[in-house]
Amino acid sequence: MVLDDAERGKLDERDDDAFYAEPRLVTHVDAGFRERLTGLYDEALTVDDRVFDAMSSHVSHLPNRQFDRVVGHGMNATELAANDRLDEWFVQNLNETPTLPLEDEAFDAVTCAVSVQYLQHPETVFAEFARVLTPGGTLVVSVSDRMFPTKAVRAWWDRSMDERADLVVAYAESTDRFAETRVVTDHPDRDPFVAIVAQRA
């Protein structure tokens, strides 16, 4: 396991469902970060891809082109219903149920934008990302320096951005199912940009 029990803890241990009950129809990163993320998706994904957008919201940051299928997951139904890039979506608390109700090798790409810091069982969730990806499929996990501090896991708090990237790489490598992992860094207008791109073996 990458995290120990203490590192999985949060300041606010109350029910996540209650915390996310009210929709937040805002963007959590600045315009430079969003543009860089969309550009990375444009480079990493192809038009025929089936995309699973994990821990999504009212926006997916996908480039302005049609994909074969986009399935979203999140914690708030109102946010997901407002996301016009999603062909279908479902609500699930991954800290309570980290397994996904999706078929094996059903997607060519999995995206997870600025939300990985809230996962208490990232090793299991990343194994699920690998399971639902086709061989050669792409995982893109973006990391920001912003967060809901009471809901981020303790492992996240005192790490630098580079150390957080290393932690996400460790999550992916713990599955033994990704053949290649690289870290992409940039500095948009204000928010530092970090993304981990992994290829399914």
What's the pLDDT tens digit per position in 86-98?
999 999 999 999 9
Give DSSP secondary structure letters for the chain.
Answer: --S-TGGG--S--S-HHHHTSS---S-SS-HHHHHHHHHHHHHH--TT-EEEEET--S-----SS--SEEEEEES-HHHHHT-TT-SEEEE--TTT--S-SS-TT-EEEEEEES-GGG-SSHHHHHHHHHHHEEEEEEEEEEE-S---TTTS-HHHHT--HHHHHHHHHHHHHTTT-EEEEEEEEE--SSS-EEEEEEEE-
pTM: 0.93
Helix 122-132 and helix 161-173: axis angle, to 10°?
A: 60
What's the pLDDT tens digit per position in 73-82?
999 999 999 9
pLDDT band at 146 (very low <50, low <70, confident <90, very high): confident
Reference 103, options 50, 58, 45; nearest CA is 50
Mean pLDDT is lowest, of 19-33, 57-71, 144-158, 180-194, for 19-33
Domains of the chain: 6-200 (3.40.50.150)
26 has a pLDDT exceeding 60: no
If 0-12 CB within 10 Å is exposed, 13-18 middle and 19+ buried, where does residue 19 land? middle
What's the pLDDT tens digit per position in 80-133?
999 999 999 999 999 999 999 999 999 999 999 999 999 999 999 999 999 999
Q: For residue 88, what are its two tokens?
A: 């279908």
Q: For residue 51, what are its two tokens?
A: 């995309």
